[in-house]
Amino acid sequence: MSEYSARSPHRRYNPLTGEWLLVSPHRATRPWLGAVEKVPQANRPQYDPQCYLCPGNHRASDTVNPPYTGIFVFDNDFPALLPPVRTGQHASKGAGGLPLTSAPPLHASPSPLFRVAPEAGVCRVICFSPRHDLSLAQLPLEQIQAVVDTWIAQCQELGARDDIHYVQLFENRGEMMGASNPHPHGQLWANEHLPTEPAKEQHHQLAYLQEHDVPLLVNYLEAEQHEGERVVLQNDHFVCLVPFWALWPFEVLVLPKVHIRRIVDLNSAQRNGLADVLKRLVTRYDNMFEVPFPYSMGVHQAPYDGEQHEEWQLHLHFYPPLLRSATVRKFMVGYEMLAQPQRDLTAEQAAERLRALSEVRYA
Ligand code: H2U
Ligand code: ZN
């Protein structure tokens, strides 16, 4: 970054989405009167009889979780997507007349202004551990490796289905991000049509590949390694960096060091390399304000649609909302909802803060 743009308002371009954001570094010096207190930590038990994810407990559907000891995957009892109706079959109904399968939309209008299309799919919940009190950062490395292996097994299974073309793996962590339960867990939603965010990224990655003959994120990582100032941590296989175009204060992009289109293409050393950077990154996050750092994270990868997708580079996004303390978050409101996203802290400053943190968790 030149001295000028490091201190003056400027725009930065996100080549993955084609969107611009406003950076206002001069505002970071303005007086802050808000709270900076630490939040008292509730001590969670290893097992919570009220938790619907703990082993042996009842879920909403009246199902009982098995006494699992490792990873536990189940079909979401309140899925956003339903299985497709097979040809010759009618949409089936469950208790109370609620649908069990996805039917074609009833309201089809000839107007192009009222477009509607059917969507079917699968939603699953993935418990990362039987322990109610641990988070991704606190799990032993072997358990995080098991999470990565489970993600891969799920993508292999679902990606092989004709009616599924995309698998979105993600984790919402913390009440601030809408997570319903502190028990360590993530989700997957898999469906036929490419969702909006990966579709934007696909569009821009494809255009870049056609112009430069190298995948966008492969070139990008090379340039970031050269500049160095936004890199947070790395191992032999993966790099965690604050992207040049980061929106969220401590946003991180996790990139493989070689070209890999889908998570299922990782070899065993790369899988363990991914588990290693995940543990180290989330530990640094937790050390930032000495609280379990809330975030939404997820894997972006090439669709499972039978095409090559040379343009795609596998990556993970971490979008954490916290800004100044355990309670002061960044809001995407006002100008950001109506005009464009904006940040004060630069990506370079955020990377410096993250680099300074320990990889040994505060407690
Ligand atoms: P979140 O914490 O990220 O919301 O994920 C929890 C998911 O668990 C949520 O999607 C599901 C919710 O639908 N769930 C069940 O499948 N069964 C239950 O008994 C409660 C919650
Ligand atoms: Zn639990």
Closest Cα to atom 3 of ligand 1 = 179
| Domain definitions of the chain by residue range | 195-355
Q: Compute the distance from residue 94 Cα to the ligand 1 centre, in Å.
A: 19
Q: Which atom of ligand 1 is nearest to the CA of 75?
A: 16
Q: What is the DSSP string of 184-217?
A: SEEEEEEESSPPHHHHHHHHHHHHHHHHHSS-HH
Measured from the Cα of 58, ligand 1's closest atom is: 19
User: 317 and 298 in contact (C-beta within 8 Å)?
Assistant: yes
Taking residue 271's Cβ as centre, other Cβ atoms within 10 Å add up to 17
Helix (H, G, I), strand (E, B) or coil at 256: strand
Please name the residue whose Cα sits nearest to atom 13 of ligand 1. Answer: 78
Q: Mean pLDDT, to the nearest integer, of 265-278?
A: 98
Residue 90's pLDDT is 66
pLDDT at 43: 82
Which amino acid is residue 20, in one-letter code? W
CA distances in angstroms from 67 to 1, 54, 131, listed in the order given: 53, 8, 12
Q: How close is the Cα of 132 to the center of ligand 2, in Å?
A: 4
**What does the DSSP 8-state code read for residue 271?**
H
Identify the active-site residue in 132, 165, 183, 185. Answer: 185
Q: Which of 53, 72, 124, 125 to mutate to test the pocket of ligand 1 (most atoms within 8 A of CB)?
A: 125
Confidence of residue 35 (pLDDT cuts 50, 70, 90): very low
Q: How far is the CA of 346 from the centre of ligand 1 (A)?
A: 35
CB atoms within 10 A of CB 17: 16
Instruction: Report which ligand 1 atom has the smallest distance to the Cα of 172.
Output: 3
% helix, strand, coil for the chain, step of 5:
30, 20, 50
CA of 188 to the centre of ligand 2 (A): 19
Residue-wise pLDDT for 59-103, tens only, equals 988 899 999 999 999 999 999 999 887 666 666 666 566 677 777
Ligand 1: residues with CB < 6 A are 52, 59-60, 76-78, 125, 172, 179-181, 187
Query: Rounded to the nearest whole angstrom, what is the distance from the C-alpha of residue 43 to the centroid of ligand 2?
Result: 13
Per-residue pLDDT, 116? 87
CATH of domain 195-355: 3.30.428.10
Measured CA to CA, the distance from residue 147 to residue 70 in angstroms comes to 9
User: What number of helices (H) and strands (E) belong to the chain?
Assistant: 7, 12
Q: How far apart are CA 65 and CA 57, in angstroms?
A: 5
282: closest CA among 134, 129, 178, 183? 134
pLDDT score at 83 = 87
Mutate-to-test residue for ligand 1 from 53, 82, 124, 180, highest number of ligand atoms within 8 A of CB: 180
Per-residue pLDDT tens over the stretch 174-200: 888 888 889 999 999 999 999 999 999
**DSSP state, residue 41:** P
Task: Supply the residue whose CA is at minimum distance from atom 11 of ligand 1.
Answer: 76
Q: For 63-96, give one letter per residue: b (16+ CB within 10 A) or e.
A: eebeebeebbbbebeeeebbbbbeeeeeeeeeee
User: Locate tokens 């990582």: which residue?
Assistant: 221
Rounded to the nearest 10°, the torsion over CA 135, 141, 142, 146 is 50
pTM for the full model?
0.94
State yes or no: is 185 an active-site residue.
Answer: yes
Give the pair of three-digit tokens for residue 251.
């946003």
Tokens of 54: 């703990």
Alpha-carbon distances of 154 from 150, 337, 357, rounded to whole Å: 6, 35, 33
The closest-lying atom of ligand 1 relative to the alpha carbon of residue 178 is 4
Mutate to test the pocket of ligand 1, among 57, 58, 72, 77 (most ligand atoms within 8 A of CB): 77
β-pair type (10-14, 19-23)? antiparallel
- Interval 211-256: pLDDT, tens: 999 999 999 999 999 999 999 999 999 999 999 999 999 999 999 9
Which atom of ligand 1 lies nearest, measured to the CA of 78?
13
Phi and psi angles of residue 265, each rounded to the nearest 5 degrees, phi first: -85, -5
